[in-house]
Amino acid sequence: MNILQINSSARSQGSESTRWANALSARLLQQYPHATLELRDLAQDPHPILDEAALQAIFTPPAQRSPEQAARVALDDALIAQVQRADVLVLGSPMYNFGITVQLKSWFDAIARAGVTFRYGENGPQGLLSGKKVYVALARGGMHKGLPLDIQTSHIQTFLAFLGMSDVQFIYAEGLNMGPDAAQRAQQQAAEEVAAALV
């Protein structure tokens, strides 16, 4: 089993989403001792945003790309290859201003490539990354689960399903900024959800 962990917090240290993503990966390695873990921390190793130059590089035929364009596409190719190798993905995703971080959005933009990770057919889009299990550790300062403002969860779920990854389980640590008691309850709840997720 190949496990790919993606930490998408802007923080290299002290991130609650990273804490629970680490806990999920540790439990997986406990249950599957022969598994391998590949870790990408987008705070320590940020991926460039999808800008005009990147789009031009992607849509230029490979044989016609400049060295700079080839190098830019190669950065995305490396992330795509990581996902393709993985049997299980573990994503750490804090909520920033009701949504995902720019770090995670840049990763999403990099791995979504027509003809490689999805394609359009007569019946609409088809994801090409099926057969993978995904765990997502969500960290929020407030309480959002199941409420209309929880666009973070729907964004992640919609995007992953578009690429064929529909077996997704969310772990919630909520209320982390609502005082010590709420934070303690959030961490206890997240610990219980991590334990239950891997039974």
Q: What is the CATH number of the domain that holds 163?
A: 3.40.50.360
Range of the domain at 184: 2-197
Kindly report, residue by residue over 147-171, the tens digit of the pLDDT: 998 999 999 999 999 999 999 999 9
> Could you give the number of structural domains in the chain?
1
Cα 81 from Cα 167, distance rounded (Å):
20
Average pLDDT, the chain: 95
Q: What is the pTM of this model?
A: 0.94
Kindly report, residue by residue over 53-100, the tens digit of the pLDDT: 999 999 999 999 999 999 999 999 999 999 999 999 999 999 999 999
pLDDT given for residue 199 in this prediction? 58
Cα 135 from Cα 169, distance rounded (Å):
5
